[in-house]
Structure 1
Amino acid sequence: MMLSGRGVTAVLGPTNTGKTHYAIERMVAHGSGVIGLPLRLLAREVYTRVAERVGASAVALITGEEKITPPGARFSVCTVEAMPRETKAAFVAIDEVQLAADLERGHIFTDRIMHLRGREETLLLGAGTMRRILERLLPGINVIERPRMSQLFYAGQKKITRLPQRTAIVAFSADEVYAIAELIRRQRGGAAVVLGALSPRTRNAQVGLYQEGDVEYLVATDAIGMGLNLDVDHVAFAQDRKFDGFQFRNLTPAEMGQIAGRAGRHVRDGTFGVTGQVQPLDEELVERIETHEFDEVKVLQWRSKALDFSSIRDLRASLDVAPTVTGLTRALPATDSQALDYLSRYPEIIDTATTPDRVEKLWEACALPDYRRIAPAQHADLISTLFSDLVRFGTVNEQFMAEQVRRADRTDGEIDTLSARIAQIRTWTYVSNRPGWLADPTHWQEKTREIEDRLSDALHERLTKRFVDRRTSVLMKRLRENAMLEAEISVNGDVFVEGHHVGQLAGFRFTPIAGAEGPDAKAVQGAAQKALALEFEARAARLYASGNGDLSIGSDGFVRWLGDPVARLAASDHVMRPRVILLADDQLTGNAREHVVARIERFVNHHIATALKPLDDLSRAEDLQGLAKGLAFQLVENLGVLFRRDVAEDVKSLDQDGRASMRRYGIRFGAYHIFMPALLKPAPAELITLLWALKNDGLDKPGYGELIPALAAGRTSVVADPGFERMFYKLAGFRFLGKRAVRIDILERLADLIRPLLQWKPGTTPRPEGAYDGRRFTATTSMLSILGATPDDMEEILKGLGYRADEVTAEEAAAFLSAQEPAETKADAAQDAQASEAAVAEPAAESAEALSDNDTAAQADAEASEGTEVAAAEGKGASGEAPTEAAETEAPKPVLLWRPGGRNENQRSGRPQQGERRPGPRGEGRGEGERGPRQGGRPNRENRRQDGKPERSGRGDRSERQDRGKPPQSARFESKPPRKEKPVDPDSPFAKLAALKEQMKK
């Protein structure tokens, strides 16, 4: 069906005829309008010009990657792809309509040319080669031809180094553009670069270098041929072949004329020529370019818009429909149709796209542009992921999108890396601007735009650093002009004077670069100091108004603002109230300095009160009385952890009301510790160790900061280093036991596993795994799992907790269990004994969830444990080494039966263990030899048999096995010597507690 051209005007002519300017003038003369441009870069430029005319509130910018849509906007500036299919606007204009013949994008231009109309006026802007085809397709169209405002002349071939100033050098690959720009930097001071893949922000910044005279040369691709307004006097072709998306081919005369026409603006004439390896142009081609006489466009690319979404097969068939109008030809498969071809072979897509709505949604997803220029199969995979999310959840999975955006949100790397990240973020900018694709599109539009701007600035900086000798091309120019030097400070803190890097500003400290000397050094430094004085005041104001999220406290004791150190912490009289020492140069003075200090102090106090809230609340508790208040005081003094043995008498005397009142503050009464589980998390634990290190000059002590990563990773135990400061283990929530340090909440879970094994009575059923005779137990896989320990580590840990070991063979254990449990068969007993042995030899991972008290009272003691377990790997120890072949052939190890025991010889004699300090006034550092948990009565301190003789010790008593005629020295135990009474300060809170306890006893 032939369309009518009534009401349509075609304004045709070569470059520099003012066509775009004419369209803008006509559009603002109407009440509403839409204009479509071929490039996002050009759309940005036209949007700025229209906004200057009618105000930004009246203009919308709509591209595939960006939307600025003020409420009630009367005018819309779009890329041609983003133009609406239908509009009620009074005016419509389409620029560069000759692109309707382009093999890749032409069908989109053709569709807009033939179907999009304004109510009052429609303009088609383009080259004169479109006249005949437009008149054939749109009968009745009004054609206006505009002549070029200036002349264009051929200047022949010249070397790159001899090209005149204000020259644009054209190449068609990024590598060639960079190579030419590098050569010009070395020979002529520098060049700006413009590529179609650059973001508008980077492109504008590069063009700004050229337009403002900082550089005299511009190296670009054919992106400058699409209406970019530049003050170019000469255009030099460094290449005359390009890849058009399908093949490498020579430029057509019309394409060369479009690019060469950028030379000369308004009434100023321009020249064009060739350079590099390009041969001189023949006379016929030169004449055609100078007179703008090119072959007419004979056919336009076309693709049916009557798509059938009944099925994927029907959709593909409708895309292959041939045009019925003379002058149109079916377009080659574009990126979207290629993606559809790939996806139509995916089984999951075939199974999902079963309804017209879903097929239409699939086609909508296929429209995602391939900004990254990756393989078609990879692009199809991304579309498949997006389509699956849209079908299953209604929106794109924002966690997946957040991860992709996070990967692109980095400004490190060189030019190619940053260009690739810009292409990546453009993909997600497009996704965020698709209606209905995201649950929170506004957030992602702002996020991706911010990242693209940041990457664009970084890319501009890398391009300038690589291709512009700023000191040669800018600084000397300003000095020749005898002008005041201008200094600037980048977002990264780099200080520049006229673009020359003179130092680095971090926080409120400036560090000049080394070697800043020479006759102009004083002027440069003076300009830098002037800029720094203003910057310090501005930064002080920003810091004072900043949120707590911009500030942080590092494990090194430094306070950082946006990553830069601005202060350091030092010890004070109160461990939880450190002093703040400002790190700033002398230029920060007066009220600005006072505001910075006040803001940092406020943040530090807030951070400590928030991260250590349980401890802070406990220190301020008003409802605790008597013994409970005393225990709370001790717990605060010890930063949240007490060994139960050190306060055993107080805990024993504490009634249930007192315990309940302490539990309300998050205090746990465990078998071995009184502690606050909330403080075992990485952030509180790291802050606690930092505060203690500040108070005790421990920032440089061995072990500081080593345990926090293990705690953050969920490690339940770590290999202990005797050289580390022992207090760090305790503050981080770990307990030294043998060769390992175990997290204290895991020790309480171990007590929960052991308790029922010692309470089990022989003859009752079922017998828990690990129970033996009601007095002894064996290590189980659950114990090994929660500790992340090997059997040898388990032996050290249990001994450290005060348990003693007896050795029996697997056969003896099976026989004993068989005698104790007649209901079980001998085979069952033997199997049970083998399981006990396997539990020691092969620890397996197990997830344990609950952490309960060892206290006698309330149901509230069974509370959930904080932290994640790291179980021992199957068949491996904590070291991660697999058992060797020799170990597999060893004789079966005896079964260890554990029972509550007495104190070992070292502790009986008062000697500390290897690598362990003597107990301090608060009991820190005690490890092995503690009293065992009070299961079923008090531990057997003497550890003797019924006949009065010393009982044989565990497998660690090697001397006994060597000489059974003599009892081993380690088997002799003595009762604990009486505690020496110390004089009590009558003003101490402990004196009042002691008096209160005496009254309670009476």
Structure 2
Amino acid sequence: MTFAPYQSVKAILGPTNTGKTYFAIERMLAHPSGMIGLPLRLLAREVYTRVVERVGEQAVALVTGEERIVPARPRYWVCTVEAMPMDIHVDCVAIDEIQTAIDFDRGHVFTDRILNARGRQETLLLGAATMAPVIRKLLPNADIVDRPRFSQLTYAGSKKISRQPTRSAIVAFSARQVYAIAELIRRERGGAAVVMGALSPRTRNAQVELYQNGDVDFLVATDAIGMGLNLDIHHVAFADDTKFDGHQSRPLTAAELGQIAGRAGRHARNGTFGVTGGTEGFEEEMVVALETHDFEPVKVLQWRNNRLDYSSIPALLDSLEQSPENRSLTRVPVATDQRALEFVARNEAGKLARGLDGARLLWECCQIPDYQGISPANHGEIVTRIYSDLKRNGKVDQDWIAEQVRFCDNASGDIDTLSNRIKQIRTWTFVANRKNWLADPSHWREKTRDIEDRLSDALHERLTQRFVDRRTSVLLRHLKDKRMASPEINERGEVRLEGHLIGTLEGFRFTLSRNDGDVDTKGLRAAADHVVAPEIYNRADRLAGAPNEEFVLATDGKLRWKGDVVAELIEGDALYRPRILILADETLTGVDLERVQDRLSLWLRHHINTVLESVMALEAPADIEGAARGIAFQLYEHLGLLPRAQVADEVKALDQDVRGKMRKLGIKFGAYHIFLPLALKPAPRELALILFALKNGGIRQPGVTDIPHIVLSGRTSFLVDPEVDTRLYEVAGFKVAGKRAVRVDILERLADIIRPLIALDPSRHQGDVPVGAAEGNGFRVTVEMTSLLGCSGEDFASILSSLGYRVKRTPKVAAPVAAQASAEAPALEEVLAENPASVDAVAEAPLEAVVAEAEVAPVALEAEIPATTIVEAEPAVVADATPAEPEFDEVWFPGGKRPEAKRHEHRRRPEGENRQRPVAKRRPEGEVQDLSKAQHLNPKPKFEGRGRNDNRKTERPRDERPKFENARPEKREAKFDPDSPFAKLAALRNKSAE
């Protein structure tokens, strides 16, 4: 780099979109050699590619902090401003975006290049027009050239984010804001590309390409787009007008706003700018400044002394603190490299910096950028470790850097995770590109570059997945470029464009496929219309000639053709004449719609007449008249199933000849219903349910779609749903009985089982009594009955109760113990014979003691009482300490016949009692009275409710009587003297039971 006379310096100044960078490239290539310094690594890559296309790869070098491509003899150097090799002499030197010299972090580097970087023949300073006054003061002999903007910039006011025009860039100043806006645009407009300074150049390029090639129409970015990126942007919208500059949160200056807004419009095409997202509109003064590019001029540049004293660390720090002599320059605040130097100087590593070489190497290590930005201490520790290794070993420890690089080599994770890894790997990429810092620099350059590329690609993929709807982006390009392939429709009705699902054609309706939120529905439909409309016409033509087998009426009332819903049933004028509503888009109209309507109506009439054929025949039967004809018509109106109670009188009046004629029509007279057995099959019941629902509450009421599945399952009964209209169960072929719905034909079979049992008199029956038969024209529930209905217990009892049957519950009587004792008397005698001591003990004991110990003594008395009187007596416990719960004998009687009321003295009759038996024979009342008196006179304790219940109020208060139905009897233990004969008897019984 040479220091040419000031006359060779040209300042090319002007707003954005004036072609300054393009002019500088052309001027550089016009010289045999040249160098251009650019503000961003991304922009340096772009310019490098352009120059390589012009002069070849061997003639161009690329030097940035993290990338170094230097051929053997390059003629042109493309660099970032910080990486410009100042010891190389070239004919032309260009510095781009010189207004960056006011930046607190990097400004001093740009100021140094403005003052010191010179080409042998030409030096170009490129930047904003606001730099003109300060350039004149610092370089009074410089030639300043103003370049006017090629297009106009106009203020467009405020608009919602979702209503921004296409090809817009929406600018925010934090990653959180950028992500939120991009997600909103994805939901509303299909997607957006994302550009931020924190992204790697590779990721930013990939995101920019999404926007440039038309995959998305929106770009969400930070102020990174304000410098160097040449994009096809029509409108710039500011979602915020404040930013954090690393030191404080402050409003953007007019010049900064102008730098960003100036990206709208390209070459001769005009652009617009505005605000969005709640940002207040710009004041008139600001609008005028932005439209005319008239901003307050720059007065002072950031500066730092570049003539450093490397004799010692204190001397180096003092030289960095030196103030400028020119009033147009101001000393830069403490920068990152100086902060790192101060950190190293405070620890042991600072003692290693001896002499000029030690201090110079330390300062070179401090130039490592703080890409991670975690904290000054964290960055200082990295610098300290690298400097210590270089000073002690001459190279950075390979194992240590391998561990750091390995930690970054992971392409999984979300956007923030990948962004942080890219920041980390950039540090090691920078280290790998330093001369003589690593033992194998080529290996580490390739490795770190490969990791950064893979992380960048993964980050681009995550950004695209999160913020871009690929299907919509393809659609947008299709709408713009008619030469693209047309959408296609497959046999499943899926409409696809370049492999992306746009929507599905079901029947005659096209439904958009939406991945996430609402997108441009008009655009989607427009793209699919020219392939969907012809297909709809073809389907209408095919349906008009389709056979009956291709149509199906589902339980939800929808009519399907080849599996696709094409219509639905709605309420008509009559029960058997519902109307058909064609479900189609507006594309199906006119003659095509009428043909579809006529064909479906014809099929529906045929379907009803076929499935409900036996029912439809009852509308006007020819062979019956009078009451029979009325019953048949009511059966027709009730869809083939009529409760008998509704026409009980009419049915009684029918003679056998008329009934025979009605049976020929398929009518069956059941105990509870009059019905058509053929109409009770699943298909007729399903159709009947749909027809009934259309006239009574609608097809979408609860139960309409669920009950047919139960019918098909073959279940004979099931619990009813309280939310379902009970009439739906009746129409489906079930009777609601108690808590359950029972199939009508099953209910009739149950009646057929019960009827002979009620008619049977067991006392007069010869031979074996049928299972379930009971006295007094009653019956007991049998396994056959419960198996038939698929339920038992309370559920079955509720069904019988709902049918009008009444139950009589009688406690079952256990076998008297005395009788059992008599049967085992010989065994007891043998025991007593073998144990004379026991006999003697009993003989010697007082009579009262024996009676007190033997609680089973009353059983002997009970044995003398006829079995019919032992109703509520609790059997005496002999061997078991805990008696079993009482069991009841349940006998059911028809509702019209009740148990004989004359037997009021008995609460319940034991099983097998004959109602016709004379009272005197069944119950010797005299004996009972004597027994009661005997118990009353007995001084011993009473039996606590174990005796008879003879219904006399004088014997016991009503509330003290034992209650078996709802309360469990108290368990009592029977205690015997171990030497008593009763204990021997109990032991013998237990042994016999085993």
TM-score, with structure 1 as normaliser: 0.48
Larger Rg: 2
